[in-house]
A = this chain, B = another copy of it.
Amino acid sequence: MKRPQPSARDRLVTSTVTLLSRQGYEATGVKQITVEASAPMGSFYFHFPGGKEELALAALRQGADGVDMLLRETLSAATSPEESLADCALALADVLKRSDWLDGCPVAATALESIGRSPTLREAAADAFERWVTTIGDHLRTIGVADRQTRPLATTALALLEGAEMIARVRADPEPLHDAAASLRVLARDALR
């Protein structure tokens, strides 16, 4: 049975996810997206009449799905409750290293670029962060972290993963994510005491 080929629309979105994670929104041009997606320029205008911002919005949502899935899989596969947050940092170190530190968070660069410039993209970035905080928070509740602590700890865990990922990528070195894993172990132990 032949695998169904992804549509031009799907290819445009997927290529944009990759470009946003490598270089952010501002450096990513429509021309580059269509080349990477092997899609004609006409299909970009057809599927995204709102232009690059509309395509980026779809890409931020798809990118948010991908990270959410990585978080869920890693959290549910953890060997122990105390290790689950740390495992997310180690999983990120693995994934990032495989792309030679090029493919980072699909939201972070665009988030920082959008704050004073695009309310639409800023809101999509906030939604992505909120979704990941909710996923981590739900997991923390499951493993027995007190209700009043789940949201603050989930927010801190996400912030630490994002910051450590940025420093690791700039240095092309997993160490900051390993340091983050050690600190996440301390924070999980403290919250489970």
Chain A interface residues (CB < 8 Å from chain B):
22-24, 26-27, 101-102, 104, 108-109, 111-117, 122, 125-126, 129, 151-153, 155-156, 158-164, 166-167, 169-171, 175-176, 178-180, 182-183, 186-187, 190
B179 touches A111 (CB 8 A): no
> Which residue of chain B is the closest to A107 with respect to CB atoms?
B170
A153 to B183, CA, bound (A): 8
Number of chain copies forming the complex: 2
Most buried by B among A26, A175, A176, A183: A183
B152 touches A159 (CB 8 A): no
Residues of B near A153 (CB, < 8 A) are: 179, 183
B24 touches A113 (CB 8 A): yes
Given known A23-B113, A26-B26, contact A162–B166 (CB-CB < 8 A): yes
Residues of B near A179 (CB, < 8 A) are: 151-153, 155-156, 159
